């Protein structure tokens, strides 16, 4: 996906990321999985979004033009992978919460399955070896982390409330969690 994909409404991007391939290349080994769960964090008013605190060293990346990687540590031990969205000045990002059909390849062609799914944002970053070194980098093959069109599969999209944001007042009930359900 090129940058323009990420410069749109965060809810749209979160929805359209479902079914796409998430790619990760490390030392010539390519990992990929089909994105199956996302959450949108959109705008300075959204109390569930770190960006509601304003511009800080951590949140600054979300205020910039979309198409970059936002990685942060939570609970002292888990990295969360996010893709920034929207145009310069508007803070927003999509949290990637899970992939299905993860697989790897040593030659970028012949992929070998790893397991059925990688559920949960902390398990995903562990499996794909994603940490803060990727923070603020471009979503691009040259970075080693990027997104491409997914395989031809039939699925529908289920929405729900975002996980773990009960503190966010009226924002906690927004249906900004998106899940891929294979049909």
Partner DNA sequence: ACGATGATGAAC
Partner DNA sequence: TTCATCATCGTA
Nearer to DNA, 106 or 166 (CB): 166
Nearer to DNA, 34 or 40 (CB): 40
| Nearest-10 Cα torsion for 118, 162, 164, 180 | -10
Contact call for residue 172 and DNA (CB under 7 A): no
Supply the minimum distance, in Å, between the C-beta of residue 67 and DNA. Answer: 16
Query: Would you say the C-alpha torsion 31, 8, 165, 62 has a positive or negative sign?
Result: positive
| Position among 43, 111, 120, 179 found at the interface with DNA (CB under 7 A) | 120
Supply the minimum distance, in Å, between the C-beta of residue 120 and DNA. Answer: 2
Give dist(CA 176, CA 160) in Å, integer: 6
| Nearest-10 Cα torsion for 13, 126, 137, 153 | -30
Q: Which residues bind DNA (CB under 7 A)?
A: 39, 41, 48-50, 53-54, 56-59, 72-78, 80, 82, 93, 95, 119-124, 162-165, 167
């Amino acid at each position: 996906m090129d940058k323009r994909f990420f410069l749109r409404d965060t809810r749209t991007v979160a929805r359209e990321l479902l079914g796409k391939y998430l790619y990760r290349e490390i030392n010539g080994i390519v990992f990929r999985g089909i994105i199956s769960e996302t959450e949108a964090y959109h705008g300075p008013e959204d109390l569930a979004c770190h960006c509601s605190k304003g511009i800080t060293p951590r949140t600054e990346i979300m205020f910039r033009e979309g198409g970059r990687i936002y990685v942060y540590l939570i609970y002292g031990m888990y990295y969360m992978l996010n893709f920034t969205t929207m145009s310069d000045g508007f803070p927003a990002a999509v949290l990637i919460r899970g992939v299905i059909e993860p697989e790897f390849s040593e030659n970028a062609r012949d992929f070998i399955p790893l397991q059925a799914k990688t559920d949960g944002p902390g398990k995903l970053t562990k499996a794909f070896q994603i940490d803060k070194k990727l923070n603020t980098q471009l979503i691009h093959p040259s970075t080693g982390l990027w997104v491409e069109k997914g395989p031809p599969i039939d699925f529908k999209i289920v929405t729900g409330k975002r996980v773990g944001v009960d503190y966010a007042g009226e924002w906690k009930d927004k249906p900004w969690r998106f899940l891929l359900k294979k049909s």
